[in-house]
């Protein structure tokens, strides 16, 4: 007897047939993003190339199930690719026990690179971050606008007619002239609307970067990478944040964002100059009772020796004014922290971090913006 089989299309088409595979692929992509998060944060293509919106992330290849004939009548007759914990990290089992990079005799994993959007990476990174100690009762000027009544006029649209003031004008006219009951054209009053900026919750972040001659390409890259990702994080999670960019060598200057990220390095280093400018900006533009204020300074630590006392004093004053003062020191070699770092590490209201390699960018962000339990281990 011959049997026949048919494959039919469901009422919703064939798309549901692939939903499980899509979900499995998405899980692999999300796992790969988490495992390569630090590398992605420090990816030079994002920071250097304008408009770069996608990144490549390696994930274990998803093998299809296949059936093979079992000549030995074993219980298992099917096989499929399975990715274990080591596959996500790219481990192949090669190399010697003492850590030497030998050629190895084991086959490698089947890895494929898939494109993920910068927005996907941002969501994975920023979901762990938040502005610390944000006081939601403080209000800062937002970007929104609304129409609000600001005065009263004698002409306007019917929808803007102010009945109460119209009646008051009519009663006043009759009391003064003795006229009859009823409204006259001169009694009419209308609300006049003007565009007014909305007050919305937000924060102010003062970004300070050392642009002196001692800041080499490595130091500049790490500092700019931190501020690039910080700006992206703030604009995504806190859309009404205000950013102030300060660059300094022996003197400090406020610059626009484009100049901040593309400015070269030259001159000596006087850190107190940028701290004093930050204090002046806070005093003149951002009242402490209205704004959440955060300040961050990244430098190689090579400050003019005679300025260390003034820098510590002005840094201490800045830390007392803002919600958080973050100080990052970039070392391309194994050396001791600077006197500023040592002094600032003991000040309340300050967070300090040392960056020695690209992966430290993500660690610095976690240190300053991570949840309490995550920041402790950063």
Q: Indicate whether 3 belongs to any domain.
A: no
Of 165, 183, 199, which residue is a domain's last?
199
Of 184, 199, 214, which residue is a domain's last?
199
Task: Domain of residue 371: give its range.
Answer: 201-376
245 or 186, greater pLDDT: 245
Residue 125 vs residues 36, 55, 168, 253, 316: alpha-carbon distances, Å: 11, 14, 60, 31, 31
Q: Which of 74-78, 156-160, 190-194, 248-252 has the lowest mean pLDDT?
A: 74-78
Nearest alpha carbon to residue 42 among 213, 180, 222, 212: 222
152 and 253 housed in the same domain: no
Q: What is the pTM of this model?
A: 0.61
How many helices (H) does the chain have, and how many strands (E)?
Answer: 13, 12
254 and 335 housed in the same domain: yes
Q: Which of 22-31, 138-147, 282-291 has the lowest mean pLDDT?
A: 138-147
Which percentage of the chain shows pLDDT scores above 70? 61
Give the whole-angstrom CA distance, residue 308 versus residue 24: 56
244 and 307 housed in the same domain: yes
Q: Which of 71-80, 153-162, 256-265, 367-376 has the lowest mean pLDDT?
A: 71-80
Helix, strand, coil fractions of the chain, as percent rounded to 5: 40, 20, 40
Of 163, 182, 199, which residue is a domain's last?
199
Q: Indicate whether 99 belongs to any domain.
A: no
Q: What is the mean pLDDT of the chain?
A: 75
Q: Indicate whether 156 belongs to any domain.
A: yes
277 and 372 housed in the same domain: yes
178 and 153 housed in the same domain: yes
Q: Indicate whether 278 belongs to any domain.
A: yes
- pLDDT tens column, 364-373: 998 999 854 4
At 324 the pLDDT is: 93
Q: In CATH, what number is assigned to the domain containing residue 292?
A: 3.40.50.410
157 or 299, greater pLDDT: 299
pLDDT at 342 over 90: yes
Q: Indicate whether 36 belongs to any domain.
A: yes
Beta strands 111-117 and 54-60 are antiparallel
Give the whole-angstrom CA distance, residue 55 versus residue 160: 54
- Band (pLDDT 50/70/90 cuts) for residue 127 is confident
Nearest alpha carbon to residue 247 among 299, 292, 319: 299
226 and 171 housed in the same domain: no
At 100 the pLDDT is: 53
184 or 299, greater pLDDT: 299
pLDDT at 190 over 70: yes
Q: Indicate whether 367 belongs to any domain.
A: yes
Q: Is 77 helix (H, G, I), strand (E, B) or coil?
A: coil
At 12 the pLDDT is: 53
Q: Which of 81-85, 193-197, 224-228, 241-245 has the lowest mean pLDDT?
A: 81-85
Q: Indicate whether 107 belongs to any domain.
A: no
38 and 172 housed in the same domain: no
Q: What is the DSSP letter of 132?
A: T
Give the total number of structural domains in the chain.
Answer: 3
- pLDDT tens column, 208-260: 999 998 898 889 989 998 998 899 888 888 877 889 999 999 999 999 998 99
184 and 259 housed in the same domain: no
At 52 the pLDDT is: 45
169 and 310 housed in the same domain: no
Give the whole-angstrom CA distance, residue 174 versus residue 179: 5
52 and 157 housed in the same domain: no
Write out the E strands in the chain: 54-60, 66-67, 78-79, 111-117, 140-153, 190-200, 204-210, 242-248, 252-255, 293-299, 324-330, 350-355
54 and 186 housed in the same domain: no
181 and 192 housed in the same domain: yes
Q: Indicate whether 97 belongs to any domain.
A: no
- Band (pLDDT 50/70/90 cuts) for residue 49 is very low
């Amino acid at each position: 007897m011959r049997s026949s089989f048919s494959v039919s299309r469901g009422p919703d088409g064939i798309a549901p047939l692939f939903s499980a595979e899509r979900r499995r692929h998405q899980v692999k992509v999300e796992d790969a993003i988490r495992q390569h998060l630090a590398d992605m944060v420090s990816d030079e293509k994002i920071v250097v190339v304008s408009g770069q919106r996608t990144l490549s992330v390696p994930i274990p290849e998803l093998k299809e199930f296949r059936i093979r004939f079992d000549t030995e009548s074993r219980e298992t007759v099917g096989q499929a690719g399975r990715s274990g914990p080591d596959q996500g990290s790219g481990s192949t089992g090669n190399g010697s026990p003492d850590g030497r990079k030998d050629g190895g005799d084991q086959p490698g994993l089947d890895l494929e690179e898939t494109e993920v959007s910068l927005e996907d990476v941002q969501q994975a990174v920023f979901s762990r971050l938040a502005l610390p100690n944000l006081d939601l009762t403080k209000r800062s000027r937002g970007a929104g606008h609304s129409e609000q009544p600001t005065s009263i006029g004698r002409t306007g649209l019917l929808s803007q007619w102010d009945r109460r003031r119209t009646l008051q004008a009519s009663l006043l006219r009759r009391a003064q002239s003795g006229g009859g009951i009823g409204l006259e054209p001169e009694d009419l009053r209308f609300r006049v609307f003007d565009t007014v900026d909305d007050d919305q919750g937000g924060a102010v972040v003062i970004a300070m970067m050392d642009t002196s001659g001692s800041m080499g390409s490595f130091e500049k890259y790490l500092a700019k990478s931190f501020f690039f990702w910080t700006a992206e994080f703030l604009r995504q999670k806190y859309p009404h944040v205000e950013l102030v960019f300060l660059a300094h060598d022996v003197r400090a200057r406020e610059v626009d964002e484009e100049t901040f990220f593309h400015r070269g390095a030259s001159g000596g280093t006087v850190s107190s100059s940028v701290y004093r400018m930050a204090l002046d900006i806070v005093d003149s533009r951002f009242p402490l009772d209205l704004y959440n204020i955060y300040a961050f300074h990244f430098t190689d630590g090579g400050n003019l020796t005679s300025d260390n006392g003034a820098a510590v004093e002005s840094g201490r004053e800045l830390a007392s004014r803002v919600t958080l003062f973050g100080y990052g020191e970039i070392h391309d070699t194994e050396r001791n922290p600077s006197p500023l770092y040592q002094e600032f590490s003991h000040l309340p209201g300050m967070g300090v971090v040392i960056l020695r390699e690209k992966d430290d960018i993500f660690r610095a962000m976690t240190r300053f913006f991570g949840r309490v339990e995550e920041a402790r281990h950063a």
